[in-house]
Amino acid sequence: MVKDMTIGSRLFNIVLIVILLGITLTCILPIWYTLALSLSSKAAAAGGLVWLWPVGFNLNSYRELLSDTQFFHSFWISVQRVAIGLVLNFFVVALMAYPLSRSTREFPQRNALMWILVFTMLFNGGLIPLYLTVKALGMINSIWALVLVAGATHGLVFNVILTVNFFRNLPKELEEAALVDGAGPWIMLTRVFIPLSVPVLATVSLFNIVMHWNEFLYGLIFMTREEFYPLQTYIQQLVVVFNPNILDEEQMKMMASLSNRTLNAAKVFIAMIPILAVYPFLQRYFIHGITLGSVKE
Amino acid sequence: MKSKGFVKHYVLMLLPGYAWVIVFCVIPMFGIAIAFQDFNPVRGILGSKWSGLDTFEYMFQLDDTKTIFVNTLFIACMKIVGNLIVPLTFALMLNELRITILKRSIQTIVYLPHFLSWVILGGIVLDLFSYTGPVNQLLALFGAEPAVFFAKAPLFPYLVVGSDIWKDFGFNTIIYLAAMTGINPALYEAHAIDGGGRIKALWHITLPGIRTTVALLAVLSLGNVLNAGFDQIFNLYNPLVYSTGDIIDTWVYRAGLLDLQYELATAVGLLKSVIGLILISISYVLAYRFTNYRIF
């Protein structure tokens, strides 16, 4: 590494660090602010007195949140959705990626099948036909609408492609050795490919967890009653739809004192916790995964 | 090769996945027929009367259609440019940072907003910019009158673009940083021996070194010209800013699922999908031609 410590270079470093830290703070402060707001008194929040430290510290908003049974019910629906979606996605992606990673010599239909998948990624029927399909399948108000529709339309094909590309870059020798030892396709997939593909399968799984946790639209259109809403949909309905911002300025001034900003902040913060919790684990894999998908030979 | 008899196992392996994709991605494609029908939900697609291109004629006469296409293009194009330039600049700056621990910490923090949903971030952003929120408090220090930012139509697209760039710039730097690690360090050493400064190294070594990556991302982003970001706008907008903030996807949601204008919403969605498909195909061809990029 080049080391030069001229005055110009030192100044350069200082300015650089200040700018970078300033930008970095903008990513963390809004979350910190939300936490501070949720811990403040209602009056302080409504009066706009809260900055980065709780004003009139209390846990009332969290106490109030405990009495909101729908919040926890929705939380549980989201947890179930993530769990089922994760297992399903893992098996289907691995199962699809293995045959599709074969050469056309081994699996002649491979290219045609791959293009069918890519086409579904590039073109879709749109919201209304999707809605009517799900309705015709009788999946309205069923958790399967959330698991299966989001699972298929949000990234399944992309995940398969990512995994296929990873499988294709694994050393051919391992495969040949397994073949010589008499391994069939199932043994090959479960004993050779899956163990070697932990980085990509972990990345794909984590993307899938985040997607299922964050998705709100399907909850909104496929669930007709609040009791079936996943958490993001429930919060979307509460915090965003009834946000005082939908009013004009006059009404807005009136509403500002009535709106329950501390409770909303508490809900938003609790809904963030699962992501904040898996984030350290996410870190390890996704950088590898994302560069895998974009920069390749 | 022993693997000849494997094909039937391959088919078996693909079965669940293809069934899944066909039911939820392929079958809905046939629902496009609704756009060419006088659709009756009770009778379904097979029982409804065909109406030819009536819906499309009606669509092109609507003022809404023009507005949502213009809004979508405007917001999406600004996002494309911003999402290329800001992460690139940030990655260049971060690459110059020689303190590894600080570099790692910054990277870890700036990725975070990418993983939070627009429901969560929408709640936070709306609160930050609300009448009594911190942004107004801050501006009040400089003597500005408080304002409801997200109720102002002329301002809305810029707030959308700004918050979108803010959410994803960290994540988007990953690819640039990865490309920068691929540059041969000997080039920098040679440059330093020749007496070149850091700014010059950045200009003559780093930037040319990642040119292909930048070009690739620019070309691929062409496919997103009609995607202005449903999740974000849906969670930030309100009737006061429909004139500048309503995009194709949000309009389709309202027209189709709230006003039950199935044919119209399907027709607009179809138009968007077709243009999108053409643009993505072009971008993939260009990406292959110039950077040898292939999807699989």
Mutate to test the interface with A, among B117, B156, B226 (most CBs of A within 10 A): B117
The whole-number pLDDT of residue A3 equals 53
ipTM: 0.91
Interface of B with A in 194-213 (CB under 8 A): 197-199, 213
Interface of B with A in 119-138 (CB under 8 A): 119-128, 130-134, 136-137
Residue A288 has pLDDT above 90, yes or no: no
| Cβ neighbours of A109 in B, within 8 Å | 7
CB proximity list for A185: less than 8 A, separation 6 or greater? A98, A99, B3, B6, B9, B10, B13
- Using the Cβ of B14 and the Cβ atoms of chain A, whether some distance falls under 8 Å is answered with yes
Contact A240 B119 (CB under 8 A): yes
Per-residue pLDDT of B39-76, as tens digits, reads: 988 888 888 999 989 999 999 999 999 999 999 999 99
Mean pLDDT, residues A111-118? 95
Share the mean pLDDT of chain B. Answer: 92
Name the least confident of A20-24, B32-36, B148-152.
B148-152
- Using the Cβ of B57 and the Cβ atoms of chain A, whether some distance falls under 8 Å is answered with no
- Using the Cβ of B162 and the Cβ atoms of chain A, whether some distance falls under 8 Å is answered with no
- Nearest of B171, B198, B4, B199 to residue B87 by alpha carbon: B171
Among chain A residues, the shortest Cα distance to B4 is held by A106
Taking the C-alpha atoms of residue B212 and residue B287, their distance in angstroms, rounded to an integer, is: 10
Residue A104 has pLDDT above 50, yes or no: yes
Mean pLDDT, residues A160-186? 90
| Cβ neighbours of A148 in B, within 8 Å | 20, 23-24
Mean pLDDT, residues B106-110? 92
Residue B199 has pLDDT above 90, yes or no: no
Nearest 5°: phi and psi at B50? -85, 145
pLDDT band of residue A219 (cuts 50, 70, 90) is very high
| Cβ neighbours of A287 in B, within 8 Å | 174, 178
pLDDT band of residue A238 (cuts 50, 70, 90) is confident
Share the mean pLDDT of chain A. Answer: 87
| Cβ neighbours of B32 in A, within 8 Å | 125-126, 129
Q: Which residue has the higher pLDDT, A269 or A51?
A: A269
Q: How many Å from the N-terminal Cα to the C-terminal Cα in chain A? A: 27
Taking the C-alpha atoms of residue B113 and residue A31, their distance in angstroms, rounded to an integer, is: 9
B37 sits in which H/E element: strand B37-38
Mean pLDDT, residues A52-75? 91
The whole-model pTM stands at: 0.90
- Using the Cβ of A187 and the Cβ atoms of chain B, whether some distance falls under 8 Å is answered with no
Mean pLDDT, residues B159-178? 94
Residue B92 has pLDDT above 60, yes or no: yes
Q: Which residue has the higher pLDDT, A48 or A138?
A: A138
Mean pLDDT, residues A153-176? 91
Residue A1 has pLDDT above 50, yes or no: no
